[in-house]
């Protein structure tokens, strides 16, 4: 089995997918492997919709009462797969500084910037995220076949005149090119039983693309609560 097929199989075992693969250049800022060798391939691994939920919900991290359950699960799974495949695992959390996952994702996959800052995919819409990346010393090739041709006309947002994502936030936290984090968080804290917390970000829900991939309520709530808790900790430290 080739290395990429092996990686796909390992990821799928945990409800994860290989979301992007590319050959890093110096400007991408991908760290070297522990051996000191430069990374010749970076693969981004993540969930599409609630694909990870059954595996995560059955894990020891879920429900152990400790904080950052999904990050801890991601660290365990990412580290384990990296060890098996001789790669270095890199994570989207743990910063600042943060690894530029969104920039990396746009280098290697079929993902585009959206007006609300999240990356949009033609099938999954805004309902996907990254759990870890794996840096390999060897070339793994391109899973998408021909290198993707970049251009805004391929983005689902290019054909969307309604821009409903920008109008759905109850406190107007999204303005094209800007995300007013404080406004968003104040609203979430003031309305812990409101739809943003119980169903997930309303801007995300307003996007007409990828509705079949909307997170199950338990996952949406986990993300929103973790996000508020993280920011509350940052403010009090
Ligand atoms: C810091 C951070 C936040 C901060 C806000 C940052 C900000 N002011 O915009 C907070 C904690 C508020 C946040 C919130 C959320 N985030 Co966030 N966040 C990050 C994180 C850890 C670092 C981003 C960064 O600074 N990168 C460093 C720079 C150098 O890298 P970059 O790739 O070039 O980053 C650019 C983009 O991130 C972009 N950007 C990020 N957010 C926004 C928002 C807008 C409106 C715009 C215009 C640009 C923009 O600006 C960066 C600088 O150019 C990334 C993970 C990561 N490591 O990338 C996740 C990440 C961007 N977040 C993500 C998600 C899903 C969310 C939430 C939806 C989580 C949730 N609740 O479910 C929310 C969104 C708000 C909501 N209402 O639900 C995903 C996005 C996946 C995707 N589809 O693109 C990421 C990639 C994490 C992941 N595990 O996949 N986030």
pLDDT tens digit sequence for 4-40:
889 999 999 999 999 999 999 999 999 999 999 999 9
The token pair that represents 226 in the structure block:
């973790």
Q: Which atom of ligand 1 is nearest to the CA of 118?
A: 84
Ligand 1 near 103 CB (within 6 A): yes
148 CB neighbour count, 10 Å cutoff = 17
Render pLDDT for 171-230 as a digit per residue (tens, 0 to 9).
Answer: 999 987 889 999 999 999 999 899 999 999 999 999 999 999 999 999 999 998 888 887
Q: Which 8-state DSSP code applies to residue 125?
A: B
In a domain, 155, yes or no: no
φ, ψ dihedrals at 15, nearest 5°: 75, 20
Could you say which of 140, 173, 189 is where a domain stops? 140
In a domain, 152, yes or no: no
pTM above 0.75, yes or no: yes
- 168 and 136 within one domain: no
Query: From CA 216, how far away is CA 14, in angstroms rounded?
Result: 17
Nearest CA owner, ligand 1 atom 59: 92
In a domain, 158, yes or no: no
**Nearest residue to 14 via CA among 64, 62, 86:** 62
- 118 and 20 within one domain: yes
The token pair that represents 8 in the structure block:
């796909």
**Nearest residue to 67 via CA among 185, 230, 199:** 230
Ligand 1 near 108 CB (within 6 A): no
In a domain, 146, yes or no: no
- 171 and 134 within one domain: no
Ligand 1 near 102 CB (within 6 A): yes
- From 102, 108, 177, 217, give the residue whose CB has the most ligand 1 atoms within 8 Å, as the site to mutate: 102
Query: From CA 203, how far away is CA 32, in angstroms rounded?
Result: 37
Task: Compute, in angstroms, the gap from residue 230 CA to the centroid of ligand 1.
Answer: 13
In a domain, 147, yes or no: no
In a domain, 181, yes or no: yes
Per the prediction, the chain carries an average pLDDT of 91
In a domain, 79, yes or no: yes
Q: What pLDDT, on a 0 to 100 scale, did the predictor assign at position 63?
A: 87
- 96 and 39 within one domain: yes
Ligand 1 near 170 CB (within 6 A): no
The token pair that represents 11 in the structure block:
């990821």
Ligand 1 near 112 CB (within 6 A): no
Label residue 145 by pLDDT band (50, 70, 90). very low
Q: How many domains does the chain have?
A: 2
Nearest CA owner, ligand 1 atom 58: 101
Q: What pLDDT, on a 0 to 100 scale, did the predictor assign at position 236?
A: 55
Comparing 62-76, 157-171, 220-234, the range with the smallest average pLDDT is: 220-234
- 113 and 14 within one domain: yes
- 124 and 11 within one domain: yes
Q: What pLDDT, on a 0 to 100 scale, did the predictor assign at position 109?
A: 63
Section 118-129 average pLDDT:
96
Nearest CA owner, ligand 1 atom 37: 102
Expressed as residue numbers, the domain containing 173 is 164-236
Collapse the DSSP code of 15 into the 3-class scheme (helix H, G, I; strand E, B; otherwise coil) and give the result.
Answer: coil
- 114 and 77 within one domain: yes
Q: What pLDDT, on a 0 to 100 scale, did the predictor assign at position 2?
A: 85
Q: Which atom of ligand 1 is nearest to the CA of 220?
A: 72
Q: What pLDDT, on a 0 to 100 scale, did the predictor assign at position 151?
A: 54
**pLDDT over 80 at 152, yes or no:** no
């Amino acid at each position: 089995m080739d290395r990429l097929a092996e990686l796909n199989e390992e990821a799928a075992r945990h409800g994860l997918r290989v979301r992007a693969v590319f050959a890093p250049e110096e400007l991408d800022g991908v760290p070297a492997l522990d051996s000191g060798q430069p990374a010749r391939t970076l693969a981004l691994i993540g969930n599409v919709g609630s694909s990870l939920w059954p595996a995560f919900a059955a894990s020891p991290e879920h429900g152990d009462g400790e904080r950052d359950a999904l990050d801890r699960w991601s660290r365990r799974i990412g580290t384990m797969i990296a060890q098996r495949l001789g790669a270095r695992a890199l994570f989207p959390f743990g910063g600042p500084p943060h690894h530029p996952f969104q920039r990396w994702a746009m280098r290697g996959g079929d993902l585009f910037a959206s007006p609300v800052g999240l990356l949009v995919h033609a099938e999954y819409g805004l309902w996907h995220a990254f759990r870890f990346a794996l840096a390999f010393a060897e070339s793994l090739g391109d899973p998408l076949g021909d290198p993707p041709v970049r251009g805004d006309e391929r983005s689902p947002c290019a054909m969307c005149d309604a821009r409903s994502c920008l109008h759905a936030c109850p406190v107007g936290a999204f303005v094209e090119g800007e995300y007013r984090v404080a406004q968003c968080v104040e609203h979430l804290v003031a309305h812990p039983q409101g739809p943003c917390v119980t169903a997930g970000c309303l801007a995300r829900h307003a996007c007409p693309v990828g509705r079949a991939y909307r997170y199950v309520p338990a996952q949406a709530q986990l993300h929103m609560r973790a996000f508020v808790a993280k920011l509350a900790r940052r403010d009090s430290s």
